[in-house]
Amino acid sequence: MITIYGSPRSSSGRCFWCLEEIGKTYEAKPLNFKEKDHKSPAYLKINPNGKVPTLTDDDFVIWESIAINFYLAETYKPELLGLDNKQHGLVQQWSLWGITELQPPIIGAFIQLVFVPEERRDNGIIEKAMAKIPGLLKVLNDALEGKSYLVGDDFTLADLNAASIVSLCSEIKFDLTAYKNIQIWLAQISERPAFKKYQKLH
């Protein structure tokens, strides 16, 4: 039995989406951060970082959202990793680029604009984050030129992991009008049945 600890409205979200893509039954266990569930002895036993997400598959335990998604794809739906080693490498490339380059500024702005009360927001953090985003989105937009997906002709984890970050642009009111390829890509991905199921979990 697969169990996912976390909320679809956190970095766990991409794991919920991946679980819907692979079509496996799973149990969701949200943690109450105000009650410090993530610091409880029981939770720290499976994730000593005290963070989400964590996934268990019977007696196997794994944390970090990108690692979780690669495990799920490799175990239950290998086609999400591409058709050969070269495509697999590119899927890893875009997934790691997304989490190390693109996510920090978008999440930085997201936390300030969505979770921090207006009177307590750090405008310096917001401005710095917003200044970094355009160049990063250009990299992604250019990569999608003449293509439906980032790697090969089919949807892969590269698309899932990157789109899970880019989709937050609407919540931070970042205008994607200048990035036509990204707009088309996101619109196509948003029609996937698994994505729609994931969105209903929010």
Q: Which domains does the chain have, with CATH numbers?
A: 2-76 (3.40.30.10), 81-192 (1.20.1050.10)
Which region among 13-22, 31-40, 104-113 has the lowest average model confidence (pLDDT)? 31-40
173 Cα distance to chain centroid = 18
Q: Is the pLDDT of residue 151 over 90?
A: yes
**pLDDT at position 37:** 81
User: Rounded distance, CA 12 to CA 19, Å?
Assistant: 11
Beta-carbon contacts of 4 under 8 Å, excluding residues fewer than 6 positions away, are 12, 15, 16, 19, 26, 27, 28, 29, 53, 54, 55
* Cβ-based neighbour number of residue 183 at 10 Å: 14
How far apart, in whole angstroms, are the C-alpha atoms of residue 5 and residue 37?
11
Half-sphere exposure of 119 (CA within 13 A, CB side): 0
Q: What is the 3-state secondary structure (H, E, C) of 118-158?
A: HHHCCHHHHHHHHHHHHHHHHHHHHHCCCCCCCCCCCCCHH
pLDDT of residue 35: 83
∠ at Cα 93 (89, 94), nearest 5°? 125
Look at residue 117 in the predicted model and tell me its pLDDT. 92
DSSP letter, residue 167: G
Task: Inform me whether the pLDDT recorded for 202 exceeds 90.
Answer: no
Collapsed DSSP state (helix, strand, coil) of residue 9 = coil
DSSP 111: I
Alpha-carbon separation of residue 45 from 7, 76, 134, 181, 196 (angstroms): 19, 26, 40, 44, 33
* Predicted local confidence at residue 12, as pLDDT: 93
The yes-or-no verdict on residue 145 having pLDDT over 90 is yes
